[in-house]
Structure 1
Amino acid sequence: MRSSSIVLITVAFAMLSGCVASKIVTAPFKAAGTVVETAVDATTQTESEKAEDIGREVLKERKRERDACLKQAETKEERKECKRAYKDG
């Protein structure tokens, strides 16, 4: 039973053209290469992504400063001034 399976597999590979057999053999390596490329892409940043990250950090810092200003403000006028000073846009 086992020997007939081995013979059948051997005959099947012999019947396949070299092109198909080479695709079957190289497919796992190509898939692994794709995974590596995807992992490298996931760990690198483009210039625009870096700029977006910097922009987010700047906005967070401005919000912290605004919140601190509002917390220290004692009058309604001081709070308005804080909002004016740290207005988005």
Structure 2
Amino acid sequence: MSVNRFLSATMVAALNLLKERGVDNKHVKVISAVAAPPALQKLSEQFPGLHVYTGIIDPEVHEKGFIIPGLGDAGDRSFGTDS
């Protein structure tokens, strides 16, 4: 399973739109309730200088990359952007 699966497609799409419009990663703040280490690592690699604030880091994810127990990829499921 690709580490990309650990990232919300919605978040990455939004960050890419900002990047395309010339917004520097250092000026972007991402706030999340829960995050997993693989996603934080990938965000750091894809968007150097990005500020990420999270309420808690949950270390356990299952084979599809959803935090367990947890919300899974609630944003992607809610907005139909699950890939």
Provide TM-score, normalisation by structure 2.
0.24
Provide TM-score, normalisation by structure 1.
0.23
RCO (CA 8 Å, sep 6+): is it higher in 1 or 2? 2
- The structure having more radius of gyration, on CA atoms, is 1
Give the structure with the higher percent helix.
1
